[in-house]
Amino acid sequence: MPRTLDPELRRALAARIRYYNEMGIFDFYRRPRSAGAEEVSISVDEAEAVVSTSTVSTNQTESGEEMSPRKAATVAMPVAIEEDIFEVIALKPEQSVSDPVKALKMIREDLGDCTRCVLHKQGRKQIVFGVGNPKAELMFVGEGPGADEDAQGEPFVGRAGQLLNNMIKAMGIEREQVYIANIVKCRPPGNRTPEREECATCSPFLMRQIAVIKPKVVVALGAVAAKTLLAMSASMMQLRGRFYDFRPAGIRSNDPNWDGCKLAVTYHPAFLLRDPRQKGEAWKDLQMVMKELGMKAPRSNT
């Protein structure tokens, strides 16, 4: 008779899978079940606690066949588990949907009236999900909503947003052509920097948005966005000026042809408002992005 996983064990398993996912490991193979091993099961509700991963193959040996060691891992489970445990915990609802508008709607519904972190009780008026073209080739990711964004429910609509609009225009495109979102979807009180914990709790939803939109380039605006997306800590000087290969952590696109995208880091528009001398540097970053996307700036900028 299968029994339900002990909650502690389930939590540990979820944490372990999340850890592997963050390192880019999605495929897990299980040692063949030995005679007399205990059986356990996991319910659909338990999926919530675990980030995505892919199907388990039950008949593999530890060698992992052709998988590269970075992408596949054999995990020694403390007890033998039901056949479909990883399938149950793997799939996000939107991954079975090909229409990105519908898929984004499903992520929004999953987010609900979110109370997952403390920001929900620190004066937010509404959740600021993200806005723009659901098939955008270019995505901008900021830090978190400010007062204007909180009031209007849309990212980058205040002063920093005006500057971002100008930056987008300077690239020869319109705001409506790109997708804009933030690391956290609720306004931190007094526009403080979001805490690590808040970023970690909220960013999986952004990762899912990115996996649905499948952009060619993501531009991280400022250090919080850059560090959260890249899961690394470095100064803006170290982070800017190059592309990173980026795959949304813990999630896979439902499109097998989309294997991640490029990520560039530039200054946050709010920083550029405080120090306009850095605008030239930001323009260099955007030119690098334009080149990658095969875009030409309108004449007045060149």
Interface positions, 150-189, toward ligand URA (CB under 6 A) = 155-156, 158, 160-161, 182
Nearest by Cα to 198 from 169, 223, 166, 224: 224
- State the residue number with the nearest CB to ligand URA: 142
Q: Decide: residue 299, CB within 10 A, 0-12 exposed, 13-18 middle, 19+ buried.
A: exposed
- Of the pair 50, 229, the CB lying nearest ligand URA is at 229
- Interface mask (CB under 6 A) for ligand URA, residues 118-157, using x and -? ------------------------xxxxx--x-----xx-
- Interface mask (CB under 6 A) for ligand URA, residues 16-35, using x and -? --------------------
Report the chain's C-alpha Rg in angstroms: 21
The values of phi and psi at residue 232, to 5°, are: -145, 160
- Of the pair 51, 226, the CB lying nearest ligand URA is at 226
Nearest by Cα to 4 from 36, 35, 45, 32: 45
3-state secondary structure string, 176-214? HHCEEEECCCCCCHHHCCCCHHHHHHHHHHHHHHHHHHC
- Of the pair 50, 139, the CB lying nearest ligand URA is at 139
Closest distance to ligand URA from the beta carbon of 116 (Å): 19
Return d(Cα 190, Cα 147) in angstroms, integer. Answer: 8
Closest distance to ligand URA from the beta carbon of 296 (Å): 28
Closest distance to ligand URA from the beta carbon of 24 (Å): 27
Return d(Cα 200, Cα 10) in angstroms, integer. Answer: 20
Which parts of this chain interact with ligand URA (CB under 6 A)?
142-146, 149, 155-156, 158, 160-161, 182, 270
